[in-house]
Structure 1
Amino acid sequence: MAERYKIYDKLGAGGVGAVYRAYDNELKRWVAIKRLISANDASGDQGLAAELRREADALASLRNPNIVTIFDVASDAEGLFMVMELLEGEDLADVVARGPLHYDDFKELASQTLEALLAAHQRHILHRDIKPENIKVERLPGGRMQSKIIDFGLARAGMRARKQTEDQEGTVMGSIFYMAPEQLTRAPVDVRTDLYSLGCVFYEALSGRKAFDGETLNIVIDKHINHDIIPLNLVAPHVPPWLGAWVLRLMALNPEDRPTGAQQAIEEFRAWEKMSAAPPMMPWMPPGYGPPPGTYTQPMYPGSATTSTIPIQPGYYQPPQEEAYAQPVLEVVPDAEPILEMAAYTTPISRPSPTTGRPPVGRRTMPTGRSPSTRLHAPAPEPASSGSKAKIFAIIGTGIALVLGAGWFFFGSKKDTASGGSAATSILSTGPDKVKYELPQDRLFPPMDSDICLHLVAGVGCIGKDGKIAPPDGVILDWHDISPLGNDNLARAYNKNADYAPKRSFWPTPTSGIIGAKPSRSVLDFRPREGRPVAIALTDPAGEKSKFPFGQTPPRGESGMTLALVFQVDESRLPVRVLSLSGEDGSSVILRVDKYKKIIADFRNGGSLGSITCNGVDPTIPCTVVLTWQTATSVTEMRVKDAPGKTFRAAAKTKPPTAPLTRLQIGKVVGANQDNAPAEEQFSGYLAEVVMYSSLLKLDQIQLLESKVLRDHYIQGPPTTPPPAPAPAPAPSAPQK
């Protein structure tokens, strides 16, 4: 070693070796050298030396940007050593000591460390000593935080379950605060052991305090083994419930309740980031963590076939909430209480401003400048008996209910009143404080999504008259757009009047047979109530007008329009107008159903009119319609498909618009003092989803949109296998003689 590497100083020591800063005289670079075993130890235990050499060689084979790189494995007169890259930056422990991580930084930490573990596990290497001191973090020039896992000193090659290594005194090595119960009880360990330790690290990174802490080693060990933990949402109220549940899943007491590996943990994080703010009670959660008994059944974790069933009231069913929200960010201010602020994430929301009715804009500030204040953290409970623990969990349940209750917030008004009403002054800014909604994680997103300028989904962004997420059978005054181009546009009930607002409902399923809507699919009910029509219209999209079909902003796809929807009309109230879409130049698209149940699409631009009539497809059962309008050829087309699988496709020619189509209206109300609009202009039925593109989709994209994205999600069609042939009638018996 002395010929090539010059040792300068000792950087630290671990359970099986010391680390030194050294200079590589051949490659002219600074390196870190870790002495694994001395020559005396090697001579005394040849088996240990051989095993360490094999595992050091396995570590050297790892090539991952989030794992410290090993340049060489060699031995000299003093024993075995590894040459590694010398990392700059800080330990994660030093960063967390200044305050909990910002959400952006935590997401980078979680994804990068899990990717590192995935790479190691794929090489059949367990780390077994994951802790903040073994994660190096560095701020890159572009602002992102880079994480690298170091010190595989306790790592073992080979994925078979085996007991934790013990030192000569019989004590378990590794940091006691992050060790899995199976390590503490000398039970077999596997990849899920590393996930548990990483979960403890994530808990501390989000809250600034250890998940399992105590004055003595025995207290800490008992808390691990008994899973005595304060839910993350109580320790750090800024952490959304889904994130707290995900971290708790990594830290589940039983390995069977944890993800099967780093890959599943990554996938669950991505899925849960789009899930509801309050997952149901799950086996790995401490008592009192989940919401009060609800009324739905959903997967125990995203992708799981096992479900958690919450008791439901007779005759009442509530599916999981599909809304996604904006992530609160904790900004630490020296000598001040923590402040909850808003940033542009798609996770639970903070409390709205009392003046604007909207959440404040997050400043995305990194917590720096001081050690975590004790005011940020709930005090650790004293060791308690089983009776007192029950009281603690009862208090925890009450606190969680309060935290979850604060997540349901009040939305203010937006932009102008819907069609027919007088203009209303907007109390919302059009700046970056708009809340973003996303499709539920179980949905296939439409193709060519960069050109989607309007996307309305029943059950997502549906705001009731109290400014909160509308419950089933609740009226919908505001229906938020989830398209990126729309920038949180919304459709609003006529005059923002609950008498004319649709209701959030569930699509009626067929009483017999299997053809119709799938169970528990959310829809908006547009059937008139008390003689009043129901109507909702898109408010003025203002700065987003140019992004709509035929606007000035060029789309990525071919110039034109694609409009798709899923609906069902009320057979007893035909004819109806389903929707109309128009522009400032007088051009329009109108979709209606006549009294003979024929679906008609009218494309108009001045004196140019193209009308397409669909025969043979039944709109009184769930169906999909796709309307297209091509700029280059002036060709308009309608495609229809109903639940039994009947299809229709026809085209016409109409001169394309010269102004963007931005005025979308579903149903119609003639005036504030006229409750009964002409029947043919009302809409009576159910509407599940509307997707509009600022471009003309290609044929294969349209087929994907109407079938996989829309129809397969909402509609259950005919059986895939033909029914059995009827049994032949028995032959008549011969007459008796």
Structure 2
Amino acid sequence: MIARTGAITPRHLFRLQRVTREMVDTVLDIRAAMLLNGRYRLEASLSPSTGRAMGEVWKAQDVRMERTVVVKFPQLYAMRSAEAEERLKRFQVEAVATAQIRRDGVVEVHDRGEQDGHPFLVMEYIDGITLEDFMAENGMIDLSAAASVVVGVAYVLAAVHSLGIVHRDIKPSNIMITRQDGKVKVLDFGIARLEGGENDTRLTRTGAQLGTVCYMAPEQFRSERATAATDLYALGCIFYEMLAGRSVFDGPGAFEYQKQHLEQKPIPLRYWRPELPEDVLELVDTMLSKDPADRPGTADEINSRLRGHLPKSGSEAPDDLIHYDPTIPFRNPCAPGEPMRGSRGVLALAETPPFRSRGEVKDLCVQARKLMLADPEQAIAMMAARLPEARQFYGARDTHVLDLARQLAGALEEQSSREAAYEAYRSLHEDTKGLAALGSYSDAAREGMRRCE
């Protein structure tokens, strides 16, 4: 028996695979036409579900808002309890990470829920094509179109990295181009790393590697800490592949890919496209550097260096595009403004105030409450980092700012950080004492101090 010997023979493996397929088919049959929380009616599976898939994705109808959405479940069946727990954790990370990023290029999270013990995530439905299919359809891609895609992804990564999030799985199947307006969308933050959170060390089994071998940076193969530069390496692989019409490396298996990414230099891009400008060839080469320190300092640096190669407003579409067109946002006279820029070696932040409106402070409280469920340390770090900015920008006695301060103090107390919680409550009390209109905050602070003494 397998349970006794630990050995899995080909016969046993076939049996396990057959059971897994049967379980998948059963789950799909059960979920078809299911109405989740009385609101989301599942219509059709959007991805083939296998025992190795991270998630199960459905096209659905939001019957309350009368719109098409995507519902995603973490795939947990036919898994050991430890693996299922890890996947649930990743699913929570995806929900939190995606909801934090405010960029048009990131799929929007509408809702998060659970029914009959099955958690699910409701997201924006994207009518478009994956970059993987786009590249297969077009072969070598015009520089203006390839630059449009890379700038779109870099624009998202600039925001992602400024929040302390590393995607860790940038690849063509996780990038989409919308049908009507050619916008680039970045998907799937299921294995993202949140800076300072529990999965900052590693949210996976010891020694396991996260990513897709064709686009993994050398440091990922060495199981080292992923950084923003890790995402930029993957984007360099994609840029090379779009321009060359072939992958950076072509290994028959994972071991060969690992050896090539770690040790070999790719065939120079100029061999495939000698007509490309020298600065583009140099940028791609830099993005593919083995040493993370030799890559561009930020996603914004990539963005800035490619601006001169984007299509001009009012120009014609590239002749070789068959379907979908990522140049539309730049050729359209109503295209958005320039993506933000940053200097080499510094994580760039948008050149805007830390909060565009008081409502963003309230939104921060909501995000932190959700994050407390998945990663309390990250939630506390996020609130502690933003509270001084909020106080400076709107004043210490603004009600939204006071809500954030009270929530931070409560979170610290909940995590048994009594001294830090006492100081947070004391600061809140100093800001509100003697003001009748803010009596509830003062009372809550005084009571919190008493509990933490």
**TM class, shorter-length:** 0.5 to 0.7
Aligned to 2:38: 3
**Map of 1:366 onto structure 2:** 320
The answer (yes or no) to whether the contact 2:74–2:87 under 8 Å persists in 1 is no
**How far, CA to CA, are the matches of 1:250 and 1:178 in structure 2?**
12
Equivalent position of 1:383 in the other structure: none
In 2, the alpha carbon distance for the partners of 1:344 and 1:64 equals 23
Structure 2 counterpart of 1:115 = 155
Distance 2:231 2:112 in 1: 24
1:125–1:25 distance in 2 versus 1, CA, 3 Å: same
- Write the mapping of 1:126-141 to structure 2, written as runs, cut at 5 A: 126-140=166-180
Equivalent residue of 1:9, what SS?
strand
SS of residue paired to 1:100: coil
Runs of 4+ in structure 1 displaced over 3 angstroms? 37-52, 159-168
Between the aligned partners of 1:186 and 1:127, the Cα distance in structure 2 is 15
The alpha-carbon deviation at position 251 of structure 1 amounts to: 1.6
Aligned twin of 1:507:
none
Partner Cα separation in structure 1 for residue 157 and residue 260 of structure 2: 25
Counterpart position of 1:193: 230
Query: Does 2:281 align with 1:244?
Result: yes
Please list, as runs of the form range in 1=range in 2, the aligned pairs for 1:314-333 lying within 5 A after superposition. none
Other-structure match for 2:134: 95
Query: How many Å apart are 1:264 and its aligned residue?
Result: 2.6
Contact kept? 1:135, 1:147, Cα under 8 Å: yes
Secondary structure at the aligned position of 1:82 is classed as strand
Q: CA deviation at 1:116?
A: 0.7
Query: Conserved in 1, the CA contact under 8 Å of 2:55 and 2:73?
Result: yes
Query: Is 2:56 the partner of 1:21?
Result: no
Contact 2:93–2:190 (8 Å) recurs in 1: no
SS at match of 1:267: helix
Alignment of 1:168-179 (within 5 A): 171-179=208-216
C-alpha separation between the residues in 1 aligned to 2:246 and 2:162?
31
Q: Deviations over 1:448-497 (max 9, x none)?
A: xxxxxxxxxxxxxxxxxxxxxxxxxxxxxxxxxxxxxxxxxxxxxxxxxx
Tell me the residue number matched to 2:74: 36
In the alignment, is the contact (CA less than 8 A) between 1:164 and 1:186 conserved in 2?
no
Q: Give 1:87 deviation, angstroms.
A: 0.8
Cα distance change on mapping 1:78 and 1:68 into 2, 3 Å: same
User: Which SS does the other structure have where 1:67 is aligned?
Assistant: coil
Could you tell me which residue of structure 1 aligns to residue 258 of structure 2? 221
- Residue equivalent to 1:146: 183
> Which SS does the other structure have where 2:184 is aligned?
strand
Q: Which residue of 2 aligns with 1:527?
A: none
Shift of 1:191: 0.9
1:231 to 243, 265, 268: 268
Sort the Cα spacing of 1:256 and 1:27 in 2 relative to 1 into closer, same or farther, 3 A.
same
Instruction: Report deviation, 1:166.
Output: 4.3
2:193·2:200 contact (CA, 8 Å) conserved in 1? no
Task: Look up the match of 1:58.
Answer: 97
User: For residues 607-628 of structure 1, what are the alpha-carbon distances to aligned partners after superposition, in whole Å with 9 as ceiling and x for unaligned?
Assistant: xxxxxxxxxxxxxxxxxxxxxx
- What pairs up with 1:331-480 in 2 under 5 angstroms? 364-368=318-322
Distance 1:268 1:174 in 2: 27
Q: Is the 8 A contact 2:110 2:122 kept in 1?
A: yes
8 Å contact from structure 1 (residues 99, 367) kept in 2: no
Tell me if the contact between 1:137 and 1:147 (Cα under 8 Å) persists in the aligned partners. yes
Write the deviation string for residues 544-594 of structure 1: whole angstroms up to 9, x where unpaired: xxxxxxxxxxxxxxxxxxxxxxxxxxxxxxxxxxxxxxxxxxxxxxxxxxx
The answer to whether the Cα contact below 8 Å between 2:233 and 2:289 also exists between their aligned partners in 1 is yes
Distance in 2, Cα, partners of 1:158 & 1:220 = 28
- Give, in whole Å, the separation in 1 of the partners of 2:173 and 2:87: 26
C-alpha contact 1:62 1:120 (8 A) present in aligned 2: yes
Q: For 1:200-247, what per-residue CA distance to the aligned partner results, in whole angstroms no more than 9, with x for missing partners?
A: 011111111101212222221111001330111112223222101101
Does residue 1:256 correspond to 2:286, yes or no? no
Q: Distance in 1 between matches of 2:107 and 2:264?
A: 32
Specify the SS of the correspondent of 1:214: coil
**Contact 2:109 2:124 (C-alpha < 8 Å) held by counterparts:** yes
Partners of 2:155 and 2:276 in 1: how far apart? 23
Distance in 2 separating the partners of 1:215 and 1:8: 37
Does residue 265 in structure 1 map to residue 219 in structure 2?
Answer: no
TM-fit CA distance, 1:86? 1.2
Amino acid at match of 2:59: R
Contact 2:93 2:192 in 1 (8 A): no
Deviation at 1:49, TM superposition (A): 4.3
State whether residues 168 and 210 of structure 2, in contact with CA within 8 Å, keep that contact through their aligned partners in structure 1: no
Aligned mates of 1:166, 1:49 — CA distance in 2: 12
Aligned twin of 1:382: none
Contact 2:94/2:188, CA 8 A, preserved across alignment: no
User: Is the CA contact (8 Å cut-off) linking 1:232 and 1:244 kept in structure 2?
Assistant: yes
2:112 to 52, 56, 73: 73
How far off its partner does 1:128 sit?
0.8
Give 5+ residue unaligned stretches, structure 1.
274-326, 330-342, 346-361, 370-737
1:599-654 deviations in whole A, cap 9, x for unaligned?
xxxxxxxxxxxxxxxxxxxxxxxxxxxxxxxxxxxxxxxxxxxxxxxxxxxxxxxx
Give, in whole Å, the separation in 1 of the partners of 2:130 and 2:166.
21
In the alignment, which of 165, 173, 182 is matched to residue 125 of structure 1? 165
* Corresponding position of 1:402: none
Q: Deviations over 1:418-471 (max 9, x none)?
A: xxxxxxxxxxxxxxxxxxxxxxxxxxxxxxxxxxxxxxxxxxxxxxxxxxxxxx
Structure 2: gaps of 5 or more residues: 1-35, 324-453
Alignment of 1:266-305 (within 5 A): 266-270=303-307, 273=308
User: 1-side partners of 2:78 and 2:117: how far apart?
Assistant: 8
Match of 2:355 in 1: none
SS at match of 2:289: coil
Greater RCO (CA < 8 Å, at least 6 residues apart): 2
Equivalent residue of 2:98, what SS?
helix
Q: How many percent of aligned residue pairs carry the same amino acid?
A: 30
CA contact 2:90–2:191 (8 Å) conserved in 1: no
- Give TM-score scaled by structure 2 length: 0.55
Alignment check: 8 A CA contact 2:241 2:247 kept = yes
Match of 2:122 among 67, 83, 101: 83
Give the SS at the match of 2:46.
Answer: strand
Distance (Å, rounded) in 2 between the aligned partners of 1:52 and 1:364: 39
> What amino acid is aligned across from residue 122 of structure 2 in structure 1?
V
**Does the CA contact (< 8 Å) of 1:252 and 1:258 recur in 2?**
yes
Q: Distance in 2 between matches of 1:20 and 1:188?
A: 33
- Code of the residue aligned with 1:9 in structure 2: it is A
Alpha-carbon distance between aligned partners in 2 of 1:51 and 1:220, rounded to the nearest angstrom:
25
**What letter matches 2:41 in structure 1?**
K
Q: 1:34 to 1:246 in 2, by over 3 A?
A: same
What is the distance in 1 between the residues matched to 2:100 and 2:317?
42
When the two structures are superposed, what TM-score results if normalisation uses the length of structure 1?
0.35
- The CA RMSD measured in Å over matched residues stands at 3.3
Give the C-alpha shift of residue 123 in structure 1: 2.2
| Aligned residue pair count | 281
Q: Distance in 1 between matches of 2:79 and 2:126?
A: 29
Q: How many angstroms apart in 2 are the aligned matches of 1:248 and 1:31? A: 39
> Relative to 1, partners in 2 of residues 1:24 and 1:139: Cα closer, same or farther, differing over 3 Å?
closer
SS in 2 for 1:248: helix
Letter in 1 for 2:176: K
Paired letter, 2:63:
N
Task: Report if aligned partners of 1:131, 1:197 keep a CA contact under 8 Å in 2.
Answer: yes
The code of the aligned residue for 2:263 comes to: N
* Structure (1/2) with the larger strand percentage: 1
* C-alpha distance in structure 1 between counterparts of 2:269 and 2:244, whole Å: 7
CA drift at 1:10: 1.8
